[in-house]
Amino acid sequence: RHRHKEKWAATAPRIPATRLALHHFDASYSPQLGERWLAVRAALLCEQKYGALLNSFASADHVAQELELHNAADFISEAARKAQSLLQGSEVGAEKGESVSPEGHGGGRTVTPAGTSPPPAPIGSNIKCYTFPRGDITRFRPAWPDSLGLLSYYLMDAASLLPVLALNVQPDDFVLDLCAAPGGKTLALLQTGACGHLAANDVSISRTKRLYQILSSYVPKNVREAVSVTSYDGRDWAELEGGTFHKVLVDVPCTTDRHSVMETDNNIFHRRRTKERQMLPMLQLQLLMSGILATKPGGDVVYSTCSLSPLQNEYVIERAIEIAETQFNITTHAEDLSHFRTLFQDTFCFSSDCRLGELVLPHLTANFGPIYFCKLHRA
């Protein structure tokens, strides 16, 4: 009997990790998303859409014009114009006698037409990222270096910039990117031009090497030297520099849903990684707690994943808020980010079902994501 089992084990067909991932997602996301799952599933199995994060450090002034000639547009600038237009519309409404509500920050006031929600907050950012219109599957050509060897733009999932925008870095902020590799969000944080100090950390030494490569390809030496790159276990960060940062980005390891259904290499659904996958929510919670503890009172933490799973998204947020209060006497609350849906709905498809935070759903006409992000404010 033992020999028979050995023979069976040696000859039994191995189910690819990508298929295991798809079976898992069918079972869990179909009840979650209902009839939308088929559209999301189709998008996950098709080529991902990218954005071109413009590199402000490169001396290539013609890059933006060339991208615009190919019908790409800076979706962040478009959202900023939309926010300004909505704000002006609400001010016109106020002049006609509708209600005025205090904003509650620095004594400023935001006017709001009676019976409506407040206008979206403006997007204040120096970040520029070009995308092609909905339904346009044109690919960006590889970036080219300027005279100093710095590349003109970085290709990434444009939805990955939403957590950085939500962090809303202000001038001279001390910023921590807790799980920084491979480096796209770190590069975006530098594009804000606002970081007083940026700490970029990742537990993986091999991934940290990739982060160094990104920085050397896009960032001049004098700016790179101002970024501290480390390879600590992010769960221990509070013991190293607790209560130090104004803003913390916690872009945690997750099931990376799109990668899991498309790529065999390093797939979290490989059978030998089953235990690791099951422990992901615990790891994510520990990293988020570390991020909260690393934040100064009055600071902000943005948590993000590239998964559709509520177990890795809202449930982690809810548990972290509870633990921060009960075990550390730290009060945090999740901020309302619904204005992101209003401002960026022309570029991304958003879920309307998140209890906390926002979720970008992949769609064939706008094949970005999935990206989940939620902003916590530490009192």
Burial class (CB in 10 A: 0-12, 13-18, 19+), 73: middle
Query: What angle do the packed helices 205-218 and 184-191 form, to 10 degrees?
Result: 40
Chain segment 24-78, per-residue pLDDT in tens: 999 999 999 999 999 999 999 999 999 999 999 998 678 999 999 999 999 999 9
Q: 78-82, 133-137, 145-149, 239-243: lowest mean pLDDT where?
A: 239-243
Which residues carry a binding-site annotation for S-adenosyl-L-methionine? Answer: 179-185, 202, 233, 251
> Residue 203: inside a domain, yes or no?
yes
Among the ranges given (100-104, 241-245, 340-344, 359-363), the one the predictor scored with the smallest mean pLDDT: 100-104
Decide if 223 is inside a domain.
yes
Answer whether residue 358 is part of any domain: yes
- Is position 374 annotated as part of the catalytic site? no
CA–CA separation, 246 and 194 (whole Å)? 12
Number of Cβ within a 10 Å radius of residue 19: 12
pLDDT confidence of residue 107: 34
Tell me phi and psi for residue 257, to 5 degrees: -55, -45
Mark out the alpha helices in 126-181 (DSSP H runs).
161-167
Is beta strand 295-305 parallel, antiparallel or unpaired with respect to 245-251? parallel
- State residue 251 phi and psi, 5-degree precision: -95, 90
User: Is 109 part of a structural domain of the chain?
Assistant: no
Cβ-count burial 338-362 (b if 16+ within 10 Å, e if not):
ebbbebbeebbbbbeebebbbbbbb
Q: How many residues does the chain have?
A: 379
Domain assignment of residue 339, yes or no = yes
- 94, part of any domain: no
Angle between helices 37-44 and 17-33 (to 10 degrees): 150
**pLDDT digit string, tens, across residues 318-354:** 999 999 999 999 999 999 999 999 999 999 999 999 9
What would you measure as the largest C-alpha separation in the chain, in angstroms?
86
Q: What distance lies between CA 233 and its chain's CA centroid?
A: 20
235 within a domain of the structure (yes/no): yes
pLDDT for 132 equals 97
Query: Residue written as tokens 């920084």?
Result: 180
- Rounded alpha-carbon distances, angstroms, from residue 229 to 176, 209, 213, 260, 289: 10, 10, 12, 28, 21
| pLDDT at 83 (0 to 100) | 87
The rounded radius of gyration (Å) of the Cα atoms in the chain is 22
280 contacts 2 by C-beta, under 8 angstroms = no
pTM as predicted: 0.89
* pLDDT mean over 200-222: 94
Binding residue ranges = 179-185, 202, 233, 251
C-alpha span between 264 and 267 (Å, rounded): 5
Using 50, 70 and 90 to split pLDDT, how confident is the model at 120? Answer: low
Start-end of H helices in the chain: 2-11, 17-33, 37-44, 62-69, 75-95, 161-167, 184-191, 205-218, 221-224, 237-241, 257-262, 274-278, 280-294, 314-328, 338-344
Catalytic residue among 129, 195, 306, 349: 306
Indicate if the pLDDT at residue 122 is higher than 80.
no
Structural domain boundaries, residue 321: 158-378
- The answer to whether residue 252 sits within a structural domain is yes
Number of domains in the chain: 1
Q: Characterize the bridge pairing of strands 173-177 and 245-251.
A: parallel
Which domain CATH number covers 245?
3.40.50.150
